[in-house]
Amino acid sequence: MATNYLITILGPTAIGKTALSIELAKAFNTDIISCDSRQFYKEMTIGTAVPDTNELAAAKHHFIQDRSIFDNYNVGEFERDALTKLNELFKLNKVQIMVGGSGLYVDAVLKGLDYFPEVDIKIREQLTKELAEKGIEPLQQKLKELDIETYNTIAIENPHRLMRALEVCIGSSLPYSTFKNKPKKERNFIPIKIGLKADRAIIYDRINKRVDLMMDAGLLEEAKKLYEHKNLNALQTVGYRELFSYFDGSFTKEFAISEIKKNTRRFAKRQLTWFKKDDQITWFDYKTPPTKIISEIMKKINN
């Protein structure tokens, strides 16, 4: 039976997961695995709310800005890399911490995802080119023709999910859906899931304030440096897309900022919907003292 424990901090964006994860890492004298799918990239700092210098110094973090936006990196590769790192860390401490708001990436580590065949990178490059030149609708239509089941079940307005399904369909000559729901590999740890919550109005207010702080910290300048690479998958991200539209002349600066806030609120709503399906999460108000949360975690470990 597994004696390793992976404490996972969940919740919507801007709720305070980073601060709590650092308190837990100090309490358990352990590292932090980040599974925020946009904080992987070293060129994206302000717009992804990467932990600041003091936070990074307070606890050792893994998978923070450890690759470039020019690297192709997907959830399957993250699952493999995170499990490898956890196996190393569990040899040092049977309790480890994971934090992040990317539900798919959390599930990849905790439960495992379906495995898909390797696909020629040229297929992704061609799909990216088609998206840039013709927009998303032709790609949606292509998926509908190749795999109606996936078309009806994934978020087809999400270009990343859409292209991932399409590249598997094209590269394997089989529907993406045929690779799903296969037996998963056993995990060598017991997950302890901790969720942070607040009234929706509080979450939305925190998001609005965070966006204003990001703009003050130089998000506009950061996005400007990345503008020439705007079609890269890593940059199909709230906070950058809207500013790219401002640089294109499609949005005013004020409207772009309001769209960042609106789209971040929508993202938080999707996060909440995803996590609420999981009855194994123990929820705490975002203002709960870390000592109380640590006490509850200790009860689970010593049970």
Is 135 labelled as part of a ligand binding site? no
Is 15 labelled as part of a ligand binding site? yes
CA distances from 244 to 238, 247, 256, 283 (A): 10, 5, 9, 37
Q: Which residue is listed with tokens 């998303």?
A: 136
Is 12 labelled as part of a ligand binding site? yes
Is 16 labelled as part of a ligand binding site? yes
159-172 helix and 137-146 helix, angle to the nearest 10 degrees: 40
CA pseudo-torsion sign 265, 271, 274, 278: negative
Is 30 labelled as part of a ligand binding site? no
Nearest-angstrom CA–CA distance, 259 and 254: 9
Is 13 labelled as part of a ligand binding site? yes
- C-alpha closest to that of 86 among 184, 190, 165, 1: 190
Is 76 labelled as part of a ligand binding site? no
Residues 6+ apart with CB under 8 A from 212: none
Nearest-angstrom CA–CA distance, 157 and 139: 10
Is 218 labelled as part of a ligand binding site? no
Residues within the annotated binding site for substrate? 13-18
Which residues are part of a known binding site?
11-18
Please state the residue numbers annotated as binding site for ATP: 11-18
